[in-house]
Amino acid sequence: MNTSRPKKAVVLLSGGLDSATALAVARDEGFDCHALSIDYGQRHAAELAAARRVAAHLGVSEHLVVPIDLTAIGGSALTDTAIDVPEAPTEGIPVTYVPARNTLFLSLALGWAEVLGAHDIFVGVNAVDYSGYPDCRPEYIEAFERLANLATREGVEGEGFRIRAPLIDLRKEEIIRLGTRLGVDYGLTVSCYQADAEGRACGRCDSCRLRAEGFRRAGVPDPTRYR
């Protein structure tokens, strides 16, 4: 008789397509999933409602929503309403980049993982069909994992931490095929940078364009609700 309990994982869950897929992967690997969402004053607050729906739909042991007001820091179209979300492709790192966002989110996930006794932290970052954010690249994830194992009691005295980015090398259509196979209902997710209060997408921002193109290429019907 196998009485071992499943290993715990912390999964960063934004409410978007990628993090929902990362959660489905963690569940498929047999992890007892603890979802973490951050209420950072993002203009697309409908994302958090989506995170709650996704957590309930895929099944997690716990869903923690931590508020951190990044509007005091600003510097991004997502946290400063004075900066418009671009509706056409731009050169370089776009204004929707939120300074140090993934570092902050992974730090919170790391702290919670250490308290829970989890060694695996899942994050839905992707470096192929993405907005060009520096904190979505493989070398960034590797550097964070290294840091995590220097920063913590568990890293110094225990088994340490693995930062799991199962989507990092996948194209958007591959992510959608993977999630569809694992039972993700993408109709529950919100990717749009300026979704309205009901979670309806603009269809024009960078995130909407990548998502729509992904469904088209995957040959999967796009359940996104547009306004």
Is 120 strand, coil or helix?
A: strand
Residues numbered 154-183 forming contacts with a second copy, rule: CB under 8 A:
155-157
Q: Determine, following the binding rule CB under 8 A, whether residue 202 of this chain makes contact with a second copy.
A: no
Residues numbered 109-128 forming contacts with a second copy, rule: CB under 8 A:
110-112, 114-115
Q: Determine, following the binding rule CB under 8 A, whether residue 69 of this chain makes contact with a second copy.
A: yes
Reported as type and span, the H/E element at residue 112 is helix 101-116
Q: Determine, following the binding rule CB under 8 A, whether residue 82 of this chain makes contact with a second copy.
A: no
Q: Determine, following the binding rule CB under 8 A, whether residue 83 of this chain makes contact with a second copy.
A: no
The contact mask relative to a second copy for 27-66 (x = CB under 8 A, - = no) is -------------------------------------x-x
Question: Which stretch in 71-79, 178-186, 192-200, 218-226 sits in contact with a second copy by CB under 8 A?
Answer: 71-79
What would the two tokens of residue 171 be?
Answer: 């194209």
With b for 16 or more beta-carbon neighbours within 10 A and e for fewer, the 15-52 pattern comes to bbbbbbbbbbbbbeeebbbbbbbbebbbbbbbbbbbbb
Question: Which stretch in 82-90, 129-137, 165-173, 212-220 sits in contact with a second copy by CB under 8 A?
Answer: 129-137
Is 115 strand, coil or helix?
A: helix
With b for 16 or more beta-carbon neighbours within 10 A and e for fewer, the 82-107 pattern comes to eeebeeeeeeeebbbbbeebbebbbe
CB of 106 to a second copy, least distance (A): 8
Select 10 or 195, whichever has its Cβ closest to a second copy: 10
CA distance 226 to 195: 9
Residues found near a second copy in the complex (CB under 8 A): 64, 66-70, 72-75, 92-93, 97-104, 107-108, 110-112, 114-115, 134-135, 137, 139-140, 143-144, 146-148, 150-153, 155-157
